[in-house]
Structure 1
Amino acid sequence: MDAYPRLCIHLDRIRENAARVAERCRAHGIAVCAVTKGISADLNAARAMLEGGCDAFADSRIRNLIRLEEAFPAVDRFLLRIPMRSELEAVVRTASCSTVSMIEAVEALEAECAAQGKTHRALLMFDLGDRREGILEEEMEAFVRAFKRCPRVKLHGVGANFACFAGALPSAGALERLASARSFMEDGLGYAVPVCSGGETSSLKLLEEGTLPRDVNHLRVGEAILLGGDVAWQRAIPWLRQDTVELEAQVIEAREKPSRPEGPIGPDAFGRVQTFEDRGRRLRAILGIGRQDLPVEGLRPLDESVEVLGGSSDHTLLDVGGRPAVTRWGDVLRFGVDYGAMLSLSTSPYVARACFEDGREVRAVPRGGRSGSAPEACCPFGPP
């Protein structure tokens, strides 16, 4: 019934991006963890990322990791977001490795591992400037003692996050500090800590420029593969494709109207007071999708004569007065999406999905179903 709006996922293009990222990274001894959260761990997209050469999956939601485990049981699964206490049973049962930044979490994971008779691998996150998750370097000794007290939770790597909260960009200096932290933890614990996870898509720029420290041997990459972009450095990555994920939405009204509102102006439905340029009467179109489904500012009309004016909860308003073809009720318009829009659209239950190979729509895997056998992949986290 819900044919539109729909998110169109071009699997061949995502596979191509994954192959290009994996090839560049492997040439420098770097494993690529495919971050699937931006597309809500769509199993078709995940398979394309794996087939392109990614080594493992990473996601911030346990529910997504469970689905990935069901579909690709041989592939490692990395929990990106630090787990909540209420998630620990599922984390130990499902995740191959998880991020930690609190001693209490390490101790709680140890207790859960004992209850399940398992061991667990941890990636200790360091805050190197972005001021999101992660410990400060002055806390390392305390974490050495914590891991020594918790033999079932083995430190398998150190990691850092960049450009997600404060916008702090990765740098060679920051990543050299991360490599030094790994050496400190190895010396203190008396065993190898094999993974130095040097960030996300934003760190690819350092790889391109030849400034990524040699000790970085792991990156967590989502946006570059899924969209060919890098919001941190405000660029389309020139050696990747950007025509990978698109939105198709249907016009529910098309009418010429004055461009300025009438009467006193107050806040809109989301509490913002807007200003409007008087452009006279213009042909406007309304799409049957809105802010409940995505931040409409994240839409990029593929027809350059279309302009996104804004949106309410269930409507997106467009100026289509410059279109060569007359816009009519029932028309379907196409848009590129940024990362935030893709994330929201893939999460919304009101948005359908369609998968394409070489421009042809293909049968999609159900959102909650198995995808069948998965190709083998190298697992950068090693055996459990």
Structure 2
Amino acid sequence: MACLQISLPALEYNVTSLRSLCSSYGCAFMLVFKEAAVRPELFRRMREWMPDGRFGLCDFPRLPLEIPAGLRGYLLYLTEEARLPTVAENYFALYQTSTRALEALYQHGRASGRRVRVILPVELGDGRDGILPEEAEVLGPWLRARADGLELLGVSANFACIGAAAPTREDLGVLLDVRRRLEAAVGYRLEHVSIGGSDVLALAAEMGGLPEGISEIRCGTAAYLGVYPLDGRPVPGLRDDAVRLLGRVVESRRKGGRLRVVLDVGTVDTCPERLRPLSPCLRFLGASSGYSVLDATDCPQEPREGDEIAFGLDYRSLAAAFSSGHLPLRMVEA
């Protein structure tokens, strides 16, 4: 049966290395694991490697996530209004851009007697969620007027998630300027200035550090795959074997003069067309919901039915595999 294999020593090494690297830049490290509710057994293990409990998470209404005491769960995704009172109680802080949602959180904070911590994502070219930098002048006074129910912790920016542009030094300058303008409006220092995803590591390495004021780096892909998401280059010092997808051969037969191998991995499990066979002799031909087909004609050893074939993943195939309820985990201790 196909499975997602996790090398726990390799993953722990990457997480520990990223914590040390971010510390060398003067930043905290947030481990992004949006699929924690889907993969609670892996989440339990990863918490052992994150002593400060700083995780970037996602809310799945049908899969409640138990967040233990001491864990700093940051809800990275915007949440529908009906779920806001629940997530406000469960998570340490919420990323939010909608003034309607912020107003609902404000009302909840006032009613509960506990201010809701929020972080404002800022749009810096990725094209996803985020306030525009020029909105700071309006939102700052608006938030200050609601300080009895909302606590603004700071700002964040996301790079190379929807868009294909790498982060730049200028982007970080804009983010810090938004922080400064919001500080002037709310009347206190905003300690939280967070940047992600993993491609920010390449910028930090190129710059030899990060500007003063950047307090956190958020990463997921670098920890799981050991690569920069934009171009797939290895992140120096990290392992690329922490996660593998294993498919089992259910048919191996010559058809039209070519050896075709059918695997029990399909689109319900991951994005098969984005998988990378570790054996270079294999070539992807296509996939349906439950199967993938590879050309194995050039392989020196013919794959047999029952054999396992290992694949590397990229950001999208990893996210789909983590989220799939059809694909079991195989956690390897050695």
TM over 0.5: yes
**CA-to-partner distance for each residue in 1:267-292, whole Å, 9 max, x for gaps?**
xxxxxxxxxxxxxx111110122112
Alpha-carbon distance in 2 for matches of 1:49, 1:303: 29
Identify which of 238, 241, 257 aligns with 2:239. Answer: 241
- CA-based RMSD of the aligned residues comes to 1.9
Does the aligned pair in 2 maintain the 1:66–1:94 contact within 8 Å?
Answer: no
Instruction: Output the amino acid matched with 1:104.
Output: R
Q: Which has the larger radius of gyration?
A: 1
Find the counterpart in structure 2 of residue 226 from structure 1: 224
Match of 2:329 among 331, 340, 353: 353
Other-structure match for 2:297: 321
State how far apart, in whole Å, the 1-side matches of 2:141 and 2:229 are.
Answer: 38
Correspondence for 1:305: 281
CA contact (8 A) 1:65 1:95 kept: no
Aligned residue among 66, 77, 90 for 2:73: 77
Bigger Cα displacement from structure 2, 114-123 vs 215-224: 114-123
- How big is the shift at 1:68? 4.7
Aligned residue-pair number: 331
In 2, Cα distance between equivalents of 1:244 and 1:121: 34
* Contact preservation (8 Å) 2:35, 2:58: no
- 1:39–1:119 Cα change, 3 Å: closer
- Residue 160 in 1 paired to residue 157 in 2? yes
* Contact map agreement 1:32 1:54 (CA 8 A) in 2: no
1:38 CA drift (Å): 5.7
Shift of 1:14: 0.8
Offset at 1:46? 3.3
The letter for the 2-side match of 1:342 is: L
Give CA deviations for 1:221-260 in whole Å, capped at 9, x if unaligned.
11101111111243121211110111111111111011xx
CA deviations over 1:34-90 (Å, ceiling 9, x no partner): 100267663444345444446401112245995250xx3211000111222122022
1:18 to 1:123, Cα distance in 2 relative to 1, 3 A: same
* CA drift at 1:356: 0.9
Q: Structure 1: which amino acid aligns with 2:117?
A: R
Q: 1:92 aligns to what?
A: 88
Cα offset, 1:147, TM superposition = 0.9
Could you state the TM-score of these two structures normalised by the residue count of structure 2?
0.93
Q: How does 1:133-212 map to 2 (within 5 A)?
A: 133-151=129-147, 152-209=149-206, 210=208, 212=210
Find out whether 1:255 has 2:253 as its counterpart. yes
CA distance in 1 between counterparts of 2:231 and 2:225 reads 14
Give the SS at the match of 1:229.
Answer: coil
- Between stretches 10-19 and 36-45, larger displacement belongs to 36-45
Which stretches in structure 2 are left out of the alignment for 5+ residues? Answer: none
CA distance in 1: counterparts of 2:231 and 2:308, whole angstroms: 32
Give the match's secondary structure for 1:201. coil
- After superposition, the C-alpha distances for 1:318-348 in whole angstroms (9 at most, x for unaligned) are 1112222222222222111212112111222
The answer to whether the 8 A contact 1:40-1:347 is kept is: no
SS of the counterpart of 1:186? helix
Structure 1 residues 112 and 219: alpha-carbon distance in aligned structure 2, compared to 1, 3 A threshold:
same
- State whether residues 144 and 189 of structure 1, in contact with CA within 8 Å, keep that contact through their aligned partners in structure 2: yes
